[in-house]
Amino acid sequence: MNDDRRRLAVLVSGGGSNLAALMDACESPEYGCEVVLVVADRDGCGGIETAQAAGIETAVMRVRDFPHRDEWDTALAEKIAGSAPDLVVSAGFLKMLGPSVLRSFPGKIVNTHNSLLPSFPGIHGPAEALAYGVKIAGATLFLVDEGMDTGQILAQCAVDVREDDTEETLLERIKVAEREQLVRTVGAMMRDGWRVDGRRAFLKNPRG
Ligand code: GRF
């Protein structure tokens, strides 16, 4: 196996379809990455089961098991650091990351969000997009900062909103595009790098 593979630590809270897409991509040597750690903030996440079945190190770190949120954040930073990741991928992780995690991996944490930011940040993006009546929805991959869904945008993809869409059908259409974007962009970041210029972020090889 190629020892130069880039190391991905993935944070999940749910079913983990984005994680599964990354793991599938990592099966191919050309992708050049491996998932080395999966952390969930709650019990019962499909993402943890998927990772365990593949023999990947996992951890469940619940805020309520720590006296203060700061201590959860510090423990999370230490757990992630132990896996020596090249990139931390928040993939459906439903907690804001705190200062310890942000300081430990400056500029090396990405999050995938199921709306076209800056519209509809937060956890109800597709439902709010549908309720607002937009004709195009989508997903955004961005660099995590201390704000909620406010970091520099690395990639965005659009899907049509159809007249007969429900929250569920729209969410599923977004997630298909979102997974493809996540895999493509993380691969390009890890193989060729990226740069940040103020509010703007650029892949060094956007076709990579
Ligand atoms: C994704 O659509 C992400 O944007 C949102 O939660 C979903 C996670 O899906 N925050 P999964 O757990 O990767 O299937």
Determine whether 113 is an active site residue.
Answer: yes
Nearest CA to ligand 1 atom 1: 92
Question: Does residue 72 contact residue 63 with C-beta atoms inside 8 Å?
Answer: yes
Is 58 touching ligand 1 by the criterion CB < 6 Å? Answer: no
What domains lie within the chain, and their CATH numbers? 1-106 (3.40.50.170), 112-208 (3.40.50.170)
Is the pLDDT at 49 greater than 60? The verdict is yes
Average pLDDT, the chain: 96
Is 91 touching ligand 1 by the criterion CB < 6 Å? Answer: yes
Q: Tell which one of 10, 18, 168 to mutate to probe ligand 1, the residue whose CB is within 8 A of the most ligand atoms.
A: 18
Nearest CA to ligand 1 atom 12: 16
pLDDT at 183: 98
Distance 2 CA to ligand 1 centre (A): 30
Distance 81 CA to ligand 1 centre (A): 23
pLDDT interval class at 16 (50, 70, 90): very high
Q: Which atom of ligand 1 is nearest to the CA of 47?
A: 12
Q: Which atom of ligand 1 is nearest to the CA of 139?
A: 4
Q: In this prediction, what percent of the chain has a pLDDT beyond 70?
A: 99
Q: Across residues 42-54, what is the average pLDDT?
A: 96
